[in-house]
Chains A and B, each alone.
Chain A
């Protein structure tokens, strides 16, 4: 070997493949203000749409008069439900099997519901016009409390369903009932509770919150009457789903709909669904014959498109007196607002909520969820989590603390005693999920050592004694959480959206010069897909990541996929990418064998080349093979070097983590200070540690926002009181704690590269960890559960109720 020959390590490093902290490709345009977001798009003759919205939460619409609106200079047209009825679009189907008004049809069911859509030649004129739409309402009784939705005299929210006794998921118990969904073994669970030594029973609320990405939902619809084709640019986390649903709703043939999701300014679940704005912009473009842009403002975003959570959970755990859990049981009321527009896999009305047995070895478990209608905005999206997983994780992690408290055990020791053991993996839970892999004890022990857990508890003990002696007014709380997620939806036998299996896809073309393009059915909203998918290809094919362009979001060019949410990109499209690479590699191997005049089996793969076994001096690099694929293929072989894979995963993946939080609470002001937050995550194989860490920082910050201040709140009249950034808490750099991250790495056994997905773990694990820390601060005073969010006022109130203010 001469001095110029690069070593294996040098060759591998040059690829910037998996495991490399590769700098992001996307950043080059973003740091120069050259991102391409929907609202940056300007087409010739483009008009703007804006909504007139209901000030009432529940009212009969007696009359809509658009005369004055139509007379506003610049206004071109005004669309109401009556207009939409002429094209059969006044209502649209939801992903959850319900129907939803596009514009108010006879009634409004939540505040800020869309009533009329005004189209004008400028944003300002559209807003002027929307202001001038005159609507006569007759107010109706309002209910915003899900616990009262099924009362005998509750206001009837959905008159259109009055006579429907069957919902999309079985019998309806009440006119405001949507679905009942259950999982687990009720009889076995009840039996375990009947003979339990110790039980706890707590009402745990996960309040209504909103994902609130910095960019709101928006679109530009352009209908070409001559060709009969619709082009729709929009903030879509799932562009192909929008195309299919758009075709089914509008009757425009699917091949004549071009959906394009350009750069997206954050999604977090907000941009999964189909909203009235999209439908109205499409109809407006059909009516006017020119492109129409619709851009939601922040108030509209917070009050109408896609809330999350609103789960009201009665949670019970049974255990032996020496601290072994024996059963769990949970009854939940899920508030879905006025229409069931929940973004779940269609067969799962409560999502994957039955992950609620968490990371623990429960012999028996049962849960029942009742979905109800209220006079609140529709939605029910997974705000940076897999479907309803964060609700489940919050509930079990709070309940484990409460049980530890009752048993007089340390919450970390109690968890260690009940964690599913490494040797039980793959583990089938009492709810039937098969956890793919994990080493929970190692993760928990590493985390406890890293934060010096014993020392923290000792310090807390001293502080509590000082507090009791009146020497300090500060309490110290230690939050412990060990979560397991279920992500990567999913196996199509279990998961579909409107009948379409939740597989995903990757199509890779390698060009003659050894560069290439990869197109996928997913869609990045900040996750850095352009960077990380190329790293998978770099490792699999031995081509530098810089030589691979990654493209998503154009339904004309991308293979069909179900989009990005529920941490499914890496588990599903990441797998598809690896599988497509392997098809390409198999063909390249045949070409190499032909060129080197050996049998295929005489070759072995080494980083970026096929070499002859036992004679590594004879080799063909992938770059050489790419060239050969276009001019020197073996006789009978098709030229070219490309492959497509539709990956239907055999199972979900189950990322997990151990989180610790230390908080100081001033009982007189309710002010809290997160002193320390440590997050250990295991997401299986790590593709880009820099991006993983960034995802964890971001998810923890969202968790901090949720636990410590976020709530979409309604008053009794149904007015939403938290619909601006003045009232809805988004953490700034000042409040946001410093994050410590750590990891273990247990690959998924069923995933081609062992990766599990990571983006949502910190939200799922973070929320219970913060909440447990606040609750832990007060636990020694006999408090079992303080509801979120833990803002200063509520923390002060909790202290007040415990008699700490004299």
Chain B
């Protein structure tokens, strides 16, 4: 199959590559670029394990062709840490609040939460729950994921995190 040239920025690095037109972005990232943080859970855009940040939007990379991402600026979990190498507030929050168990949904979930907090700096619990409803988790029951995102929002806003009473 004839291949197409694509150029995109992934986690701040310019990537040039040849891809088949039918190659999905998730397969391009994982198989060709060894960026294995985003995972594949369904390939039908339901589970969100493959979520990446593409030109300022949360995108399920199993439902985008690599050629469609030509020229795009992409961020994955691998590009989430702070410039000084410390963990992003969300990464810290997920650990502090026990917002993960098997870890399979976590990269997509954090990447989605990153965009959510860009869109809404101080979301309510309900806004968080709606905001992550495109990302499935089979382990945690979401309650601690909500807390993790609240923890990160507080940290990014420079206010103390107040855990809601049970």
Contact = CB atoms under 8 A, between A and B. Distances in A.
Interface string A275-295: 000000000000000000001
B102 A264 contact: yes
Contacts of B130: 733-734
Interface of B: 20, 22-23, 27, 30-31, 34, 36-44, 46-47, 49, 76-78, 80-81, 87, 91-92, 94-96, 98, 100-107, 110, 128-130, 132-146, 166
A265 B144 contact: no
A725 to B, nearest CB: 4
Contacts of B98: 23-24, 690-691, 693-694
A725 B141 contact: no
Give 3 nearest A-B pairs by CB, closest first: A33-B37, A526-B102, A265-B104
Given A23-B96, A34-B37, A214-B47, 6 more contacts: A27-B103, A215-B104, A699-B141, A733-B128, A733-B145, A739-B143
A23 B96 CA distance: 7
Contacts of A738: 143
Interface string A705-742: 00000000000000000001110001011101011110
A725 B39 contact: no
Nearest to A528: B101
A308 to B, nearest CB: 14
B142 A215 contact: no
B94 A37 contact: no
A26 B22 contact: no
A525 B81 CA distance: 25
A40 B33 CA distance: 11
Given A698-B138, A740-B166, A725 B47 contact: yes
Contacts of B46: 724-726, 730
Contacts of B23: 124
Contacts, number: 179
Given A124-B20, A694-B144, A724-B42, A35 B104 contact: yes
A168 to B, nearest CB: 32
Given A27-B100, A124-B20, A701 B142 contact: yes
Contacts of A24: 95, 98, 100
B40 A724 contact: no
Given A33-B77, A33-B78, A736-B141, A698 B41 contact: no
A793 interface: no
Nearest to A738: B143
Contacts of B128: 733
A169 to B, nearest CB: 33
Contacts of A693: 98
A591 interface: no
A23 B95 contact: yes
Contacts of B141: 697-701, 736, 739
Query: For chain B, what secondary structure do more than half of its interface residues adopt (helix, strand, loop), or is it mixed?
Result: loop
B157 to A, nearest CB: 20
Interface in A345-375: none
A680 to B, nearest CB: 13
A30 interface: yes
Contacts of B87: 31-32
A697 B95 contact: no
Contact of A702 (B40, B110, B138): B138
B39 A265 contact: yes
B40 A39 contact: yes
A360 B48 CA distance: 43
Nearest to B96: A23
A732 B136 contact: yes
A268 interface: yes
Given A42-B31, A214-B49, A698-B138, A298 B42 contact: yes
Interface in A195-226: 212-216
Interface string A31-50: 11111010110100000000
A700 B143 CA distance: 11
Contacts of B78: 32-33
A698 B142 CA distance: 8
B26 to A, nearest CB: 11
Contact of B133 (A123, A297, A734, A739): A734
Given A31-B110, A214-B136, A733-B132, A265 B95 contact: no
27 contacts: A26-B103, A30-B103, A31-B94, A32-B37, A32-B80, A39-B30, A42-B31, A42-B34, A123-B31, A213-B102, A214-B41, A214-B136, A215-B41, A297-B42, A298-B43, A527-B101, A694-B140, A698-B140, A701-B140, A724-B44, A725-B44, A730-B47, A730-B136, A732-B134, A732-B135, A733-B135, A734-B129
B30 to A, nearest CB: 7
A701 B86 CA distance: 33
A265 B166 contact: no
Contacts of B91: 31-32
A400 B80 CA distance: 52
B103 A35 contact: yes
A526 B34 contact: no
Nearest to B143: A697
Contacts of A726: 44, 46
A241 to B, nearest CB: 20
Contacts of A35: 103-104, 106
B2 to A, nearest CB: 12
